[in-house]
Amino acid sequence: MKSLLTCLSLMVLGIGTALFIGFHDRFSTEEPYYDDEQEGLKDQIVFKFSHVVAENTPKGRAANKFADLVYQKSGGTIKVEVFPNGSLYSDNEEINALQNGDVQFIAPSTSKLGSLSPEWGVLDLPYAFTNYKAVQEGLNGKIGTRLFASLEKHHLKGLAYWTNGFKQLTSNKGPIFTPDDLKGQALRIMPSSVIEDQYRLLGAHPRQDSFNSTFQLLESNLVDGEENTISNIYSKKFYNVQDYLTISNHGYLGYAVMTDEHFWNSQTEKTRTILTEAMRETTEWNEASAEKMNKDQLEEIKKNSSIHIHVLSKAEKNTWMKRLDPIYGQYEQVIGRGLVQDLLSLRREP
């Protein structure tokens, strides 16, 4: 009996201690635990970077590289936490999250910025850029400067342009050789009226939806196809639920890396210098690596799937360009004549 009582008292004591420790840990107002060997860690600043694509893409890798560089350059006192795959915010939510201070960096596709200013539509014009060199000339020149200036009225600050590459077409309905092959096809597109009108012009049924719902839309046949870069088609495995892929390079997909102006101005000069330097190095790396990443991932798609691939010939591309040309006239007033003319001066044969 005595030993039973001793045993019971020990159990009560044990449970009480465990509850106390749990309660203390959960609600303690003491300083959090830091590893003393990592000097200065308790003064560490943490920023959040949210994006919607996979990590093995030009944007995913650039965001991680930026985080690494910031950490190195600040001696570990600034940490950028990267949230890929829309795990924190979807593409429909991320601009608001930035403006509300819930996240400090985002890199939306420029096609998603038309709601801020219609000028962004210039980058969605069909065959706007016909190679990576033209993209860099445009974005590092007058076009890029003008577009970043348009963010100021929203108290947003453009930090850099990151590139992904050129969009291709995928479908389940049939092979796409000519613009007429898209007639009647339902296609998921990004939220851009310029893109929407291109597909309407060809008699397709575009549907604006978020990136992270695309696989589901394709898999459940709610749409027949979509347009995207190879890196997005590969990393999100769209090729597993699509039968046809056409290498059309008919549009550009790139990113505006942005932060909130109030956030930026409230940082010390030293922090801003570290962030600026890290962003510059990341952008150079992104420009040098995006094309190869897309090329390599096309080879992976060929190896890992039975999707039928058609590469548009030069003559076929010219046919697509001509069919889509009326979009330039339709949007010249909306986007602004100056911007459209600047773009046309960079346009080359496909």
Sign, Cα dihedral of 23, 29, 35, 36: negative
CB of 277 to ligand SIN, least distance (A): 25
Angle at 317 between CA 251 and CA 113, to 5 degrees: 10
Where does the chain show beta strands of DSSP type E?
Answer: 45-50, 78-83, 105-106, 156-171, 186-189, 205-208, 225-228, 244-260, 308-311
Closest to ligand SIN by CB, 125 vs 253, is: 253
Helices (H), 105-213: 132-139, 142-149, 193-201
Angle at 324 between CA 321 and CA 327, to 5 degrees: 130
Closest to ligand SIN by CB, 125 vs 190, is: 190
Provide CB contacts within 8 A for 156, sequence distance 6+. 95, 98, 99, 116, 258, 259, 260, 261
Closest to ligand SIN by CB, 78 vs 106, is: 106
Q: Are 49 and 67 spatial neighbours (Cβ–Cβ below 8 Å)? A: yes
Closest to ligand SIN by CB, 52 vs 279, is: 52
CB of 287 to ligand SIN, least distance (A): 16
Closest to ligand SIN by CB, 9 vs 96, is: 96
**Contact footprint for ligand SIN (CB under 6 A):** 52-53, 59, 91, 109, 164, 190, 211, 228, 232, 253
Closest to ligand SIN by CB, 91 vs 260, is: 91
CB of 231 to ligand SIN, least distance (A): 8
Place of tokens 């046309």: 344
Nearest to 261 by CA among 249, 272, 245, 250: 272
Task: Give the count of beta carbons closer than 10 Å to the beta carbon of residue 340.
Answer: 22
Tell me the C-alpha distance between 244 and 213, whole Å: 20
Provide the 3-class DSSP secondary structure of residue 258.
strand
Closest to ligand SIN by CB, 119 vs 209, is: 209
CB of 25 to ligand SIN, least distance (A): 39
CB of 98 to ligand SIN, least distance (A): 15
CB of 282 to ligand SIN, least distance (A): 16
Q: Give the residue nearest to ligand SIN (CB).
A: 211
CB of 23 to ligand SIN, least distance (A): 43
